[in-house]
Amino acid sequence: MDRTVIDTHPKICFVMAGINDLFNNIAPDVIYQNQIQIINNLIKSGIKPVILLTLYTHNNLSLAQKIDYINNRIISYCEKEDIDVINLNPLLASEQSLKAELQQMAHISPRLHISYGQKSWYAILQSKA
């Protein structure tokens, strides 16, 4: 993160993390602590973090429960620390699952990388910049 983010001295850094760690069977508590460390490193470097909550995948309830656990902890932390949080799940998911049309149009293999739908949430991100 130092070379790719901190050394470039951005004013704002949008952070979306967690899903690949879950795919790699990293414990949700470890993922949460890693996200807090990222947030604190950004703040310490004078960079405003804006947190994008972990996105749901398609039809994986057990993974969705872990995502909810992480996201709820992140929301709680960010509320206490007055850090902006963006939840794209209401836009991109339904009932704890990535919308089927996004699943079909997204590049997902084996990790979650959404290229489709970015225009849908550009305005949300722009409002935080």
- At 70-101, the pLDDT tens digits run 999 999 999 999 999 999 888 877 778 776 66
Amino acid at 58: H
Mean pLDDT of the chain: 83
Does the pLDDT value for residue 112 go beyond 80? no
Tokens of 94: 């339904």
Q: Is the pTM of this model over 0.85?
A: no
Does the pLDDT value for residue 12 go beyond 90? yes
Tokens of 85: 């949080």
The reported pLDDT for the residue numbered 59 is 78
CA distance 97 to 99: 6
CA distance 78 to 74: 6
For β-strands 84-86 and 48-52, DSSP reports them as parallel
* Full set of structural domains in the chain with CATH: 6-128 (3.40.50.1110)
Spatial contact of 88 and 71, defined as CB atoms under 8 Å apart: no
> Region 28-35: what's the mean pLDDT?
98
Strand-pairing partners, residue 107, are 113
Residues 6+ apart with CB under 8 A from 83: 39, 49, 50, 51, 77
